[in-house]
A and B are shown apart, each in its own frame.
Chain A
Amino acid sequence: MSDTFTFDQSGSLSQEQLSLLGDVPALGYDPNRGAEKIYDEIVTGNGHLRAHWQSLLARLTPLDSKEMAERVEESTRLLRQNDVTYTIYGDPQNSERLWPLDVMPLLIPADEWRTISAGVVQRARLLNALLQDIYGPRRMVTEGLLPAPLIEANAGFLRPCHDVLPQGGTYLHLYAVDLGRGADGQWSVLADRTETPSGAGYALENRSVIGRVLSDCMDDARIEPLTPFFNTLRDGLAALAPANQSGRSAPRIVLLTPGPYNETYFEHLYLAGHLGITLVQGADLTVRDRRVYIKTVSALEPVDIILRRVDDKFCDPLELYRDSALGVAGLIEAVRAGTVTVANALGSGAVQANAFKPFLPALSRALLGEALTLPDVPTWWCGGKSEQSHVLANLDRLVVRPAFSASSILRAPVLETSLAEQDKIAARIAASPSDFVGQTRVALSNAPVWENGRLEPRPVSLRVYVAAGPNGFVVMPGGLTRTSRAAGAHIVSMQSGGGSKDTWVLDDAVSRGRALGQRQSQSQSSDSNVVAMPEAAVRQMSPGALPSRVADSLYWAGRYAERTAAAVRLLRTIISSLTDPARGWDLRDAEPLLNLAAYQRLLPWIEPAEYTVPQVVALVQKALTDPQHPDGIRALLKRLVGTAGSVRDRLPPDCWHALTTLGRASHFSGYRASAVQVLLRLNELVTLSTSLAGAIEESMPRNDSWRFLEAGKRLERAIHLVAVLRGTSGVRRGKDDKITFVSEARQLQAIAALIGVSVPLGPTGLERKSVLEAILINGNDPRTLIYQLVSLNAHLASLPHVAMRDGATVSVVALAAQRVGEAMAMVPQGVAVAARGAQNLKKQSERLDQENNSIRAAFSILDNVLPDISNLLSRAYFTHAFARRA
């Protein structure tokens, strides 16, 4: 039916179409025309729908709220499943939030985009040339076009980078501009992002989600795809690899992230995966002989290009901000030596300062010989006398901003001038005029967002990205559109609760409002890659060598995952045994398990005679839910998620998803404090931890990452099994140090219940020997001790071999493997000794004593050997990752 629509040349709908589409009021959209004149992205001044929106709205009409709600639900679920998050600084929860994404995209017609695109590329060339000048000959200062304080008072200017010309003269490998559309319909520049522009990855993710949710609306609207832009970025970086490298075919590119606490860490993961480059933190890199190396589990491997998301000042503690733990000491010296390319070049942040704005038109003429085409928001730098007077005289109308804001990303400290504040601001300007600018307040244009079941106007700004490709600057056809939290709020920031939109740059046919039918037949016959395809949503894992820090974290993630699983199983066994009427256990029956829980600090030491079952249930509940419990389930999960989070790029998305689901499952409260509720929660946690193990088993490639994760898991489980034997030894030391004994039958029952093994009944009931064999030496059962040790041995054999750093001839891995071998030999021996003891001694006390001594003798070696293996692994693979306190 839609293919019968035709649009008139003026861009508004004919009378006939309006009746089909519904007119603007029928969209339920109120363009919100207040006293202030504001441009609306979707509705003209005459109340007509703009031409380039007609196709999309025709598809969405009649904006059925049920259908729209489904689309919103779909996008939210996709975002959640892909774990698209960002972090709010200063949030007491310090929680990652789900990335806010509106289902309505922002549409930009092709002719308008051409203007924006040309303007943004010109600006990239200008700022790059300006950086070359201020870090080099300073011609612009000498010629009087740039006041010296714009460099000398500029906190973003890095003195150690003066006279260090980057490879190819390229400072800006990735550059972003925030644009806003004023009441006159013209786009102007709100801010430049030259240091570490963020959001390009979110723009890609937005397309990936909206491309799916609105796929039925996209198939006939030709929308420029985003993926080629990222290929250009990558090719541009690769082309800048410093010359004379060690003859490797492809340059090694890494993405340097400040780590999981950064607000846009998700994007770092996403970009590294999409670009196919290794994600690293500062601690993964080192400078030797004026070259940057990545510290891997096998060797130091040279790095050619660093795409950094660490701010300028934090990049090198030797020459820049000295307390930075995020950077690489000696990085600037390596850049000076020409052995590494840093993107963006160190010091690039200098020219994103607001103070440059008023000087750009003249600088453009001088540096490029061109008139600047994209205007800036009118700005006055108070370092000039007349400008200062102008700002002071117009404080009621102007926005006052810092002239040199070193901070990048999505936060811009803004001093909105209220009447009460004006005197204070005037005083600050007078005291330090060169630190401030005054700016005309921009009434940002409105675009519709789908909220509260209808379209509502929200102020928007558009962040546009430029990459330095091998053949010059290239614009991403699209960008990150951000919306304010409320209508009339003209500060757009994710930090203050704004949202985002996908941005569709339409091709000419769409913007001219060509008939849908005509276009459909065209798109069927034409090359399908012209039509936007949704981006691959499955995040790729970070490739490349395994940094030592990552190996360390994977190993510990394996240990914490196993520790958590063991703890929830133990608590579940306690609750289910104690509260099962069919089983009829009392506290004395559960004593071996309670002892074990106490040994692992989940519960306090419990005297069966002094406690009631409800009291124990309450203690278990506390271990399960209390966030203050230092060794409780919440604490274990927090450690697990934190450790795994720092190596998220090495985990398949399914693993990460299982992990975060498990992490979230511990955040519950407000239910009845009853045994059955505790049991249900524990069952749920056991299921979730099992599905995490399953996700690891099924989705992780059998590489070194997997081996470290597995080694951690196996070692932890072995340690746990030894603890089970110790905690259920049958001996209980009371408060008065009096030793009492737990009956053998109870003990064996408890162990069997915990481990979940079915043990053949002997002539005298459950035989100790059978139980021990079942949990220790049955090599076919993945829960036994011997199985853990055999697996551990296999993993050690497959890991890269490294010699000991102190020059000893035995490799650490061989040493560790030897220790595992010793441990394996001890297991059947221990069982044999224990079983023999059981047969020969009559008196219970003597027998148990003998048994315990035998077991202790057998397993004391394990007690030492297992931590030893951990230490050896750490010495072999992890320790050289860390600079130590000196």
Chain B
Amino acid sequence: MRDVTFESQISEQMNANVSAAQVQDDAPPVNQPMRYRIRHKTTCTYTDEIQHAQHTLHLNPRVLPRQTFTRNVITVDPPPARLVEHVDYFGNPITYLALETAHRKLLVQVDFEVEVAPSPDGDLASTPAWETIRDAIKAPGDMAAKDANIYAFASTMIPPLPGLAEYAAPSFTPGRPIGEAAFDLVERIHAEFVFDSVATTIATPLVEVLTNRRGVCQDFAQFAIGCLRGLGLSARYVSGYLRTVPPPGQKRLVGADATHAWLSVWCGGDLWLDFDPTNGTRGSTDMVTLAWGRDYDDVSPMRGVLIGGGSQDLTVEVDVEPLPATP
């Protein structure tokens, strides 16, 4: 008798095409200034015509003291009726897109060049004891601690689970510096969890990741964040890009890269330390930050509601090309 209202999110399918980048274990991360040319191209094709569509994009990279952009272009085809730039609750650029002409194909491409400066992370052993940080979040005395509150509680995709704090406990011995403890946790996840791009989708609940100990970068990052929140600590979910190192003797393949995800842990004051549980590494200039939030849901690259369209097919091509150092 009638069609039903249906809202689709292309981000879920997007995930199927975006497997987490995993660098070779033996390729040490660099932490010296780096320049990249990055292209992130998303193509949606629909079996039937789309009459009207609205999307929100988290594809415009976040401006940070450590990230300097020299060129930043977003291309949308067909041309949108509206393209509005906002800043979201977490400080990320977010783009509202309205397409009001009929189309069977949508292309969204972001091109930018960025220079990444080394992070001033310093020595993990000199970070405060983790209990001090936990108590500062509970009784925030300064603005930094208030900001940390944003990332300290359960969120849509990272619910509180009894096993999380339990898993984290061996790393968080009494009085241990938070940086050290967090890195230990991340290394354990790297060692004990299996990278498996078919085991999970973005809809896989955290409890399954906990039980099966398999997944991709999103799962590992969200799992680590859940562990930290279970202890009363604060951690952000970071989405971004990772420089990939081709196997020896092979050329870097254009468009074969992928988006990546890691976490950032609050260590007091303005100090947030990046850790990558997928690769068991600390933050480095191998990583370019796109956006951060409480979990994947806060920063999903593309989310849309469509009218019309039948079924859809989605491809994502990411290219992270290292450039020679700034002349």
Contacts and interface: CB of A to CB of B under 8 A. Distances in A.
Interface of A: 141-142, 147-149, 151-153, 159-160, 162, 282-283, 286-290, 317-319, 322-325, 329-330, 333, 336, 383, 385, 431-432, 434, 552, 556, 878-880, 882-886
Interface in B64-88: 81-82, 84, 86, 88
B8 A885 contact: yes
B166 to A, nearest CB: 11
Contact of B5 (A148, A151, A288, A883): A883
B142 to A, nearest CB: 10
A882 B4 contact: yes
B312 A886 contact: yes
B86 A149 contact: no
Contacts of A329: 7, 54, 305
Contact of A886 (B46, B100, B154): B46
B163 to A, nearest CB: 12
Given A330-B98, A878-B2, A883-B305, A148 B149 contact: yes
Given A322-B303, A330-B98, A884-B309, A152 B153 contact: yes
11 contacts: A151-B149, A283-B5, A288-B100, A290-B82, A290-B84, A322-B7, A329-B305, A330-B54, A383-B138, A385-B138, A884-B307
B152 A152 contact: yes
A61 B109 CA distance: 81
B122 interface: no
A288 B160 CA distance: 39
Nearest to A138: B146
B249 interface: no
Contacts of A317: 7, 305
B32 interface: no
B303 A882 contact: no
Q: Which 6 A-B pairs have the closest CB atoms?
A: A329-B305, A886-B309, A159-B89, A148-B149, A886-B306, A317-B7
B56 A319 contact: yes
Contacts of A383: 138
A162 B91 CA distance: 11
A322 B298 CA distance: 12
Nearest to A317: B7
B120 interface: no
A336 B153 contact: no
Nearest to B308: A884
B9 interface: yes
Nearest to A874: B2
A552 B303 contact: no
Contacts of B117: none
Interface in B295-321: 298, 303-312
Nearest to B87: A163
A288 B56 CA distance: 15
B140 interface: yes
B7 A883 contact: yes
Given A148-B146, A152-B150, A322-B303, A883 B88 contact: no
A350 B319 CA distance: 42
Contact of A318 (B4, B82, B88, B303): B303
Nearest to B151: A152
Chain B at the A interface: mostly helix, strand, loop or mixed? mixed
A883 B309 CA distance: 9
Contact of B4 (A290, A323, A325, A385): A325
A152 B4 CA distance: 35
B25 interface: no
Interface residues on B, range: 35 or more
A523 B34 CA distance: 88
Contacts of A880: 51
B100 A289 contact: yes
Given A152-B149, A884-B308, A160 B1 contact: no
Contacts of A330: 54, 98, 305
B287 interface: no
Interface string B86-101: 1011100000101010
Contact of B52 (A283, A286, A336): A286
B104 to A, nearest CB: 12
A282 B5 contact: yes
Given A152-B149, A333-B84, A882 B3 contact: yes
Given A318-B56, A886-B46, A886-B312, A431 B6 contact: no
Contacts of B100: 288-289
B50 interface: yes
B4 A431 contact: no
B162 interface: yes
B312 A431 contact: no
B149 A883 contact: no
Contact of B304 (A151, A159, A290, A318): A318
A324 B90 CA distance: 23
A288, A322, A552 interface centre (most CB from chain B within 10 Å): A322
B310 A886 contact: yes
A730 B144 CA distance: 88
A288 B9 contact: no
A883 B55 CA distance: 14
Contacts of B54: 287, 318, 329-330, 333
A884 B3 contact: yes
Nearest to B55: A318
B9 A882 contact: no
Given A289-B100, A885-B4, 5 more contacts: A148-B140, A149-B149, A318-B56, A884-B309, A885-B8
Contacts of B86: 336
B1 A556 contact: yes
A883 B153 contact: no
B78 to A, nearest CB: 16
B305 A289 contact: no
B89 A162 contact: yes
A290 B96 CA distance: 10
Nearest to B143: A142
B308 A886 contact: yes
Contacts of B307: 286, 882-884
Contacts of B311: 886
A70 B8 CA distance: 56
A260 to B, nearest CB: 15
A148 B144 CA distance: 12
Contacts of A432: 154, 160
A160 B303 contact: no
B146 A325 contact: no
Interface string B157-180: 000101000000000000000000
A385 B46 CA distance: 55
A287 B81 CA distance: 12
Contacts of A322: 7, 9, 303
A882 to B, nearest CB: 4
Contacts of B1: 556
Nearest to B44: A886
Contact of B6 (A153, A333, A556, A883): A883
Contacts of B154: 153, 432
Contacts of B55: 318
A528 to B, nearest CB: 49
Contacts of A879: 3
Interface in B3-34: 3-9
Contact of A149 (B4, B52, B153): B153
